[in-house]
Amino acid sequence: MTDLLAPILPQPDPDWAEAFRVPIIECDQPLQALGIATGFAVWPAYHRLGVPNAQPECYARTEVFERLLHAASLLPDGLRLVILDAWRPFAVQQHLYDTLYDILRQHEPEADPAELTRRTREFVAPPSTRAESPSPHLTGGAIDLTLCDSEGRWLDMGSLFDEATPRSYTRHYEAIAEPDEAQRRIRDNRRILFNSMSAAGFSNLSSEWWHYDYGDQLWAAHLGKPHALYGPAQVLALEQLWRQQLEGLHS
């Protein structure tokens, strides 16, 4: 039985160069729309926030969908997963990376560019469409999510989604020696999310309590897998679907 309140143990920070060297053996699972799922809620955050090119739907690979349903089934009565983002177009990844980098540079104009890059990468993965090293969200294997109660009230997780401060580090509240009642509640909310997702086979990005991976290179590197399952994916337009279907008839 999964102990949802087990402490979150220290995790290694991601080594992006190492992760991007993990080979990918694409399994060709399609992207699935998550919006009609009944096992969890979906709130496409970037679309709702007006980010250019953000999708009005959240998509994930088939196995990711199934594992989200499993994670949701482990939650205590009255709690639900809320999916905030999943598959992400490259244009959105580039926008998020460039925007955060520019804000950090404006806030600290004397900072070294290498340090600005390091800090940007804590919260936004390097944009990449390369077949051998795609950004995690471009694969359909990365998920951003939080928790809500049965009435749709979001639980207090101690920082905002995408907040670029140390409060967003997954273990931030584990490190408080004598937490007060509010801090204990936040810590326990993060533990519930972390332990349910871990039990379903996901890995967590240590700098983002909301970010989990399955099947991509970050997941494979974190869990010591010999290869990743997912390379770059694409939501096909109707014209592309028709072409693909017709080509299949004549192959």
Which positions are catalytic?
A: 208
Q: Which DSSP string corresponds to 163-215?
A: --SGGGSTTTTTT-SS--HHHHHHHHHHHHHHHHHHHTT-EE-TT-TTEEESS
3-state helix vs strand vs coil in the chain, percent to 5: 35, 10, 50
144 marked among binding-site residues: yes
Angle, helix 90-107 to helix 113-123, in steps of 10 degrees: 130
137 marked among binding-site residues: yes
Name, in order, each residue with C-beta under 8 angstroms of 88's C-beta and a sequence gap of 6 or more: 46, 55, 135, 137, 138, 142
How many CB atoms within 10 Å of residue 4? 17
37, 162, 197, 235 from 69: Cα distances, Å: 9, 24, 10, 21
CA-to-CA distance for 121 and 101, rounded, in angstroms?
A: 9
The continuous run of DSSP H or E covering 96 comes out as helix 90-107
40, 43, 80, 83, 147 from 152: Cα distances, Å: 11, 11, 8, 12, 9
CA-to-CA distance for 184 and 95, rounded, in angstroms?
A: 35
Residue numbers in the known binding site are: 137, 144, 211
Residue numbers in the known binding site for Zn(2+) are: 137, 144, 211
